[in-house]
Amino acid sequence: MVDRPDAITSDMLQLKYERDTHRADGEFRGRHLIVTGRVASFKRVHGVLVGVRLSGGSTIFQRPTVTMVPESQAYVTTLTKGARVSFYCRGVGMHWGSARLGGCMPADAWIAAETERYEASFFGLHDDASSKKV
């Protein structure tokens, strides 16, 4: 089972990067996070919708950017601007003033997958132990 990720709002994440990039990198880069916020706009690469920009920070030009894992890119098409969202992501750092998050998926999907993995592991071990009884 994966360690419990830290939770943070998109606004707080962006503000921490704006105030002290080096310190924020030490706190978030490479770490798994649950990030909550509101959809500000959508991110496209070569015409393909791959993520979102979340509201947050002190300027509309520098906002936290979320890039989804390929399996979760279709989820982005169901979102609208202003929608409240929660994502499970890995902190990537800062790019042109915006906090970046990668390998993201909806937090609910991550929680469901972790629960399923835990239950499979638990019941798998449990079944092995009970099957050895004679």
- The pLDDT value given to residue 25: 92
Q: What is the pLDDT of residue 132?
A: 47
Q: What is the mean pLDDT of the chain?
A: 85
d(CA 95, CA 62): 9
pTM, two decimal places:
0.80
What confidence tens digit (pLDDT) does each residue in 54-79 have?
988 888 778 899 999 999 988 999 99
Helix H or strand E encompassing 40: strand 32-45
Average pLDDT over residues 5-22: 93
pLDDT over threshold 80, residue 133: no
Q: What is the pLDDT of residue 57?
A: 80
Return all residues near 31 (Cβ < 8 A) that are at least 6 apart. 5, 6, 90, 91
Q: Where are the domains of the chain?
A: 6-131
CATH superfamily of 6-131: Nucleic acid-binding proteins (2.40.50.140)
